[in-house]
Amino acid sequence: MYGCIYYNSRSKYYQIHHDVEDIEVKINAPKVLEDALRRKRKKCMISTGAMSDPYNHLEERLGYTRKCIELIYSYGFGLAMQTKFAVQMTLTTYDKTFSKIIESMY
């Protein structure tokens, strides 16, 4: 993904002035996320992974994405994560009993 035309053009838009192969690590991401989740009054779906894959090669050592996923789960929020390969599905029903079962999964 790093080095593709889309990523390079978006890097200029966001004023990233270093080689696109360099990875910026947000070491405070789990803390910032937990602070935000703690303040939320209503549960919702959280989506991530739009600009780059959340599982780059540093994740195995650093574990920040894993920690963020654990926080999202522990606070009872849903998560939609896009990686290089994404499979998403919408399931709708008029059956209120079935709907409650589906919604309780998130």
**Residue linked to tokens 């919408």:** 90
pLDDT at 36 over 90: yes
> pLDDT by residue (tens digit) across 61-72?
999 989 999 999
Q: Give the rounded distance of the alpha carbon of 27 from its chain centre.
A: 15
Angle at 57 between CA 59 and CA 86, to 5 degrees: 85
In the predicted model, what is the mean pLDDT of residues 77-98? 78
What letter would DSSP give residue 47? E
**Mean pLDDT score of the chain:** 78
76 backbone φψ class: left, alpha, beta (φ>0; ψ -120 to 50)? left
- pTM as predicted: 0.62
Distances in Å between the Cα of 69 and the Cα atoms of 15, 66, 92 are 28, 5, 25
Confidence of residue 101 (pLDDT cuts 50, 70, 90): confident
Q: How many Å apart are CA 100 and CA 81, to the nearest integer? A: 23
Domain residue ranges in the chain: 5-104
Query: Would you state the pLDDT for residue 77?
Result: 93
